[in-house]
Amino acid sequence: MRVDVLTLFPAMFVGPLDESIIRRARDSGRLQLAVHDLRNWAHDRHRTVDDEPYGGGPGMVLKCEPIFEAVEALSSAATRVVMLTPAGRPFAQAVAREMAQCEHLLLLCGSYEGFDERIRQTLVHEELSIGDYVLTNGALPAMVLIDAVTRLLPGVLGDDASAVDESFSHGLLEYPQYTRPPEFRGMSVPPVLLSGNHAVIAQWRQAQAEIRTRQQRPDLVENKRSAETPANRTNEL
Ligand SMILES: C[S@@+](CC[C@H](N)C(=O)[O-])C[C@H]1O[C@@H](n2cnc3c(N)ncnc32)[C@H](O)[C@@H]1O
């Protein structure tokens, strides 16, 4: 997958996307990432990309010209243009899975008061929010999206099953995990996990995932129920 990012703060991307799984995805060519400074498309010698809002009010608004020109320069027919905005569709694992199917993402990171509305109306295929809070600019949201999407690309995780079996993948949180030693400060690993019986372990994990989801995220249980049609409804939750 190719991902281009348009931002006023390219330096923020140095570090988080240079480590761990994302680094390996980039090195193997599974993720081709380019971060572009929006000011490269400014028209004046001060490299201005923002202006005062019509109608007055605090802050500055990102101008149309640089963003239109940057998007035109960086996109092709295969590009999905994604605007990061608190007003967008909530970003979730299911959305990450959708994005992971795309050939090319172009991420628009806002700053100041955000974007001139004509950018949203004309250029954008998808608006995404990473949560109901306001960050100073779109760099962190873009990095969150890139991280969540990259680990879903085929071959990026050492074992692709890791992404199938974790929290949110089936509308449930993940079951509890344990590793050695079997006994630590009086706390024991559940005996079923030491039994070697994979069918029983799978049943135990499913039951634990359901209990944990009911206790910690009842909203997920509700969503899963309402997403099920009467014909495919399961009774386990
Ligand atoms: C200070 S915010 C602008 C907030 C805007 N005035 C509003 O009230 O919706 C600047 C930029 O940060 C990014 N941003 C901030 N919070 C975000 C969130 N929760 N999800 C996605 N992007 C966010 C967006 O790109 C936004 O244009």
The enclosing domain of 9 has a CATH number of: 3.40.1280.10
Question: What range defines the domain where residue 192 resides?
Answer: 165-232
- Atom 23 of ligand 1: nearest residue by CA position: 85
- Atom 22 of ligand 1: nearest residue by CA position: 85
Which token pair is 19? 């480590």
Which token pair is 210? 């359901």
Ligand 1 nearest atom to the CA of residue 128, by list position:
21
- The pLDDT of 196-214, averaged and rounded, is 97
Whether residue 143 is found in the same domain as residue 170: no
Q: Regarding beta strands 79-90 and 50-51, do their DSSP bridges make them parallel or antiparallel, or are they unpaired?
A: unpaired
Tell me if residue 128 falls in helix, strand or coil: strand
Give the pLDDT score at 159.
81
Classify residue 50: in a domain, yes or no.
yes
Tell me if residue 62 falls in helix, strand or coil: strand
Classify residue 211: in a domain, yes or no.
yes
Classify residue 159: in a domain, yes or no.
no
CB 89 within 8 A of CB 128: yes
Whether residue 92 is found in the same domain as residue 16: yes
Tokens 């990102």 map to which residue? 62
Entry pTM: 0.93
Which token pair is 53? 């809002």
Place 229 in a pLDDT band, splitting at 50, 70 and 90: low
Pocket of ligand 1 (CB under 6 A): 84-87, 109-111, 113-114, 129-131, 133-138, 141
Whether residue 30 is found in the same domain as residue 114: yes
Residue percentage of the chain with pLDDT more than 70:
96
Pocket test for ligand 1, best of 6, 38, 135 (most atoms within 8 A of CB): 135
- The pLDDT of 95-118, averaged and rounded, is 98
Give the pLDDT score at 154.
96
Phi/psi-derived region of residue 15, left when phi > 0, alpha when psi is between -120 and 50, beta in every other case:
left
Pocket test for ligand 1, best of 8, 60, 134, 136 (most atoms within 8 A of CB): 134
pLDDT, averaged across the chain = 95
Amino acid at 33: L
Classify residue 144: in a domain, yes or no.
yes
Number of Cβ within a 10 Å radius of residue 10 = 18
pLDDT beyond 60 at 78: yes
- Atom 26 of ligand 1: nearest residue by CA position: 110
